[in-house]
Chains A and B, each alone.
Chain A
Amino acid sequence: MKFYIPPQLTRLALAFAIFISLFLVLRHFLVPDTFGQYGHYRGASLIDNALPEIHYAGQEACFECHQDIQDLKAQDVHSSIHCETCHGPGQKHVTSGEAADILKPTGREFCGRCHTMNAARQKNAVFQVDLNKHNIGKNCIECHNPHQPWEMKK
């Protein structure tokens, strides 16, 4: 049996073929090289996402120089708290060694972020003081050493 293909169909097929090949050519140039390497995304983007510089050094880096603070801290209730929780991002200070590149927070409000009374804080999770009653007008670090809070300063 011989098929009869009408000429308008052949022309249509030709048009389709042209469009599809045009699409494939364009696609070849427009799709980035690593697209589809791992999935429906640009594989090189994984590298881009790993590129940014770190700002927090991690406390191992702190202890390389500040061994004394490590020993001090280990003896009291702040032992499990990492340096950068209070001192802020330390990578800049690690590379420069300048004291100006690290925070030395003071003030009742700063300590109060963790230690002010709040009903949402579990009573045994953290020691809480009423900032409106406890030694008003005095700075916390006048009596407490933040690295060793229960060794009271005289």
Chain B
Amino acid sequence: MGNEKIKTSRRKFLKSAGTLAGVTIAFQWLKSSQVLLFATEPKDENLPWYGIVIDIEKCIGCGSCARSCKEENDVPEEPFFFRNWVEQYTVKNDGSVDIVSPNGGIDGFVQRVPDEDIFKSFFVPKMCNHCAKSPCIQVCPVGATYDSPEGVVLIDEKYCIGCRYCVQACPYGCRFIHPVKKVANKCTLCYHRLKKNLAPACMEVCPTGARMYGNLRDKNSDLVKFLKEHTTQVLRPNLNTGAKLYYNALSSEVR
């Protein structure tokens, strides 16, 4: 009686152990096929892994970046859609914060708070943060937006169904529905220019060198050197988006 009990429980144990091993091996195989399961890694280490730096101290708010972006990427001038834009923050002496971005900064800025009321004022150029763990990719129901092997968040315009989930998911407000194509649209870090070894349009035209892009994998690149020598911060670090747009001299008022 006792012997038989041991025998059956041993058989049961072997059976369940075998099943477990089988299932584990099966899942391992599934993972390598990468289509059925959500694949995030691995990335090709021979390709660059792009990051961006914006130096707020250098930005003079001329709006060249916003203007060039619309020209380069054929973003309609009207209505009010931008792949990148500039905001002017003005902290007043009474502690309130005034934020303006007239036409995305394209036509330049006119100071609207008189000098004597200003505690401090600065420009904040904004664009896609090309997050490594971006919320917009996670919410796409069809796999039409993705992180390219170079770390650039792109959109597959042929595959996008225009459901607007990603527009709502982006905590930085960097996406919009293209008024003509009716699909999601956003900064591509001028992927078509990067592939031709040209700088993104906004970096090409920035007169003060406030914008930089570069390879985060290359420890000798200007970008990595800048990050090493300056105290930089990303927007909304609490959201753990893995943003790769680093701001130098970012003030805590910036949202």
> Which A residues lie at the B interface, using CB under 8 A?
31-32, 35-36, 38-42, 45-46, 48-56, 58-59, 80-82, 84-85, 88-89, 109, 112-114, 116-122, 125-126
Q: Is B26 an interface residue when CB atoms closer than 8 A count as contact? A: no
- Which of B60, B122, B156, B206 is in CB contact (< 8 Å) with A42? B156
Residues of A close to B145: CB separation below 8 A:
41
**CA–CA, A109 and B156, complex, Å:** 39
Q: Are A54 and B62 in contact (CB under 8 A)?
A: no
Q: Is B227 an interface residue when CB atoms closer than 8 A count as contact? A: no
Q: Are A85 and B199 in contact (CB under 8 A)?
A: no
Q: Are A35 and B208 in contact (CB under 8 A)?
A: no
**CA–CA, A25 and B233, complex, Å:** 49
Residues of B close to A48: CB separation below 8 A:
156-158
What is the minimal beta-carbon distance from A47 to any residue of chain B, in angstroms?
A: 9
Q: Are B71 and A88 in contact (CB under 8 A)?
A: yes
Looking at chain A's contact residues, the main secondary structure is: loop
> Which B residues lie at the A interface, using CB under 8 A?
33-35, 38-40, 57-58, 60-64, 68, 71-74, 88-90, 107-111, 113, 115, 118, 121-123, 143-149, 154-159, 188, 191-193, 195-196, 198-199, 201, 204-209
**CB nearest neighbor in A for B68:** A56
Residues of B close to A112: CB separation below 8 A:
108
Q: Are A121 and B199 in contact (CB under 8 A)?
A: no
Q: Are B154 and A46 in contact (CB under 8 A)?
A: yes
Question: With A84-B205, A85-B64 given, can you name 12 additional A-B contacts, CB distance below 8 Å?
Answer: A31-B35, A40-B146, A45-B146, A45-B156, A45-B158, A46-B154, A50-B191, A53-B192, A56-B71, A56-B205, A85-B207, A121-B60
What is the minimal beta-carbon distance from A134 to any residue of chain B, in angstroms?
A: 16
**CA–CA, A38 and B34, complex, Å:** 9
Q: Are A119 and B111 in contact (CB under 8 A)?
A: yes
